[in-house]
Amino acid sequence: MHSQQTPEAIEKHLAGTALTALIVATVLHGMIHGYSIFLSPLNEQMRRFFAADTITAITAMKTTYLVVYAMGNLFFGALTNRLSARHTLAAGMVVNGLAVAAFSRVQPDGIAHMHLLWTLAALGGSVYHPIANVLITRLYPNRKGMVLGVTGMGAAVGFAFAPLLTSFLSGVLQLTWQPIALSFGSAGVLVGVLAWFFVPKIARSHGGHEATAVETPQPTLGGSATPPVSIVVLSVVIGVACLREMTMWSVLDISDFFLTAVLTDSTRTGLFLFLLYLPGIFVKPVVGVLSDRIGRRRLTSSTMLLYGVATAAVAVAGPAGLAPLYLLMGLGQAATVPLIEAIVADSTTEQNRGMVFGAFVTIITGCGALGPLLSGIALDALGGTVQAFRLWMVVLGALPILGGFILGALRFPARVD
């Protein structure tokens, strides 16, 4: 007979299980967001491949992706307590990877097929936030800022290194966008399969109550749980996040066109997008931990203002000033992500958190989806000149600046504020 495990052994096992879940969620987060950006350095190449006359024809693909991604988050958020995190996260990653790999089979007259494949990719990726965020905040109930910062670090790695790898594959190895898509898609399928083996088995809810098979005790910072945020305040915070998302996705998708016009060297776009997302690797876990200790409002307001000012400053920067500004943009934008997500997590109970996160991501991603579309339309209308891009950067920078001032005027519960 096997001797009964000691409390210390059980606690060690539970802690290891929680850590495994956190690591897997971080890797999946990186892959999913890497898919949303890896082709952005090749937008101009894709426009020529499809013989498209407008910038909008290419940026509209990202809008399709984001709209479907947004709706998928709401759907899976509603089902969070009824789905296996292990099966859902693994299957979503496999579907995402297969759709991206299928980009390699699209013909020059098949731009409509790209929209269909982006739709499938978005459905696969949309399982992540409601499922994974509920999983990790449940395992670390009093360290929500910290664990969301860690998984956010994974997203930053995906955002930063995916375009850099694309630039290497296209610039050094001379691969075009379709073989690159096949490579990225195949890697995602492999990660999805591996995730199935490593995501821990955790019981789903029954009758609306969580049957927690894994629960890791965590020390409570400040000695008590964070008081809930009111619905009105939460709605305003979500609105502020929408402003950030519109700017973020717009800058992401117009940068290749903008930098090609300013620098006359489209091969450098991957480097600039790398700089844009590099700070998130370091800043997300740091601000997450800080917010657990000192509150979230001031940090979020300050970083929104930094993001907006840096974005607007691109309008007056010369070629030499673009790299440091992209770094500052990335620093400000990345810091807001775990901060706002932690506020959302504070606003609800564990039982309802999946639905709330699903609605949150649906709303902000839906707003973000408007960014590339409106940016493409505006830039085409303004002639697509360097001056048009500079003017639009001022408009985009004004959005997070407005959000920063709004957050600064809000009043949260003491632990959040």
Residue 411 has pLDDT above 90, yes or no: no
Amino acid at 15: A
Helix (H, G, I), strand (E, B) or coil at 268: helix
Mean pLDDT of 216-237: 56
Which of 273, 234, 249 minimizes the C-alpha distance to 368? 249
Identify the band that residue 156 occupies on the pLDDT scale cut at 50, 70 and 90: confident
Average pLDDT, whole number, for the chain?
A: 84
pLDDT of residue 12: 59
Span of 9-23, 54-68, 87-101 with lowest mean pLDDT: 9-23
128-139 and 56-78 helices cross at what angle (nearest 10)? 50
Contacts of 299 (CB under 8 A, 6+ apart): 287, 290, 291, 335, 339
Residue 101 has pLDDT above 90, yes or no: yes
Residue 387 has pLDDT above 90, yes or no: yes
Mean pLDDT of 237-251: 93
Q: How many CA atoms lie within 13 A of 120 on its CB side?
A: 17
pLDDT of residue 192: 94
Burial group, residue 246, by CB count within 10 angstroms (0-12, 13-18, 19+)? buried
- Helices and strands of the chain, counted as H and E runs: 14, 0
The tokens for 46 are 């894709």
Identify the band that residue 83 occupies on the pLDDT scale cut at 50, 70 and 90: confident
Helix (H, G, I), strand (E, B) or coil at 209: strand
Q: How far apart are CA 253 and CA 316, in angstroms?
A: 20
Burial group, residue 343, by CB count within 10 angstroms (0-12, 13-18, 19+)? buried
CA distances from 210 to 85, 139, 408 (A): 13, 12, 36
Mean pLDDT of 206-231: 43
pLDDT of residue 171: 86
Contacts of 48 (CB under 8 A, 6+ apart): none
Identify the band that residue 207 occupies on the pLDDT scale cut at 50, 70 and 90: very low
pLDDT of residue 223: 35
Mean pLDDT of 87-116: 96
- Can you spell out the DSSP letters for 345-412? HHTS-TTTHHHHHHHHHHHHHHHHHHHHHHHHHHHHHTTS-HHHHHHHHHHHHHHHHHHHHHHHH---
> What is the 8-class DSSP label of residue 228?
P
Mean pLDDT of 181-191: 96
Mean pLDDT of 314-342: 91
- H-helix or E-strand containing 292? helix 269-294
CB of 416 closer than 8 Å to CB of 346: yes
pLDDT of residue 59: 87
The tokens for 293 are 């200790």
The percentage of residues in the chain with a pLDDT greater than 70, rounded to a whole number, is 87
Amino acid at 302: S
Identify the band that residue 214 occupies on the pLDDT scale cut at 50, 70 and 90: very low
Residue 291 has pLDDT above 90, yes or no: no
Span of 252-266, 326-340, 398-412 with lowest mean pLDDT: 252-266
Q: How far apart are CA 329 and CA 395, in angstroms?
A: 15
Amino acid at 323: A
Amino acid at 368: G
pLDDT of residue 354: 73
pLDDT of residue 9: 55
Is the model more confident about 280 or about 181?
A: 181
pLDDT of residue 212: 40
Q: What is the pTM of this model?
A: 0.74
203-212, 247-256, 398-407: which has the highest mean pLDDT? Answer: 398-407
Span of 90-94, 147-151, 254-258 with lowest mean pLDDT: 147-151
Which of 95, 361, 87 minimizes the C-alpha distance to 204? 87
The percentage of residues in the chain with a pLDDT greater than 90, rounded to a whole number, is 43
pLDDT digits (tens, 9 = 90+) for 2-29: 445 565 654 555 666 778 888 899 999 9
Residue 206 phi/psi, 5-degree rounding, is -135, 125
Is the model more confident about 193 or about 171?
A: 193
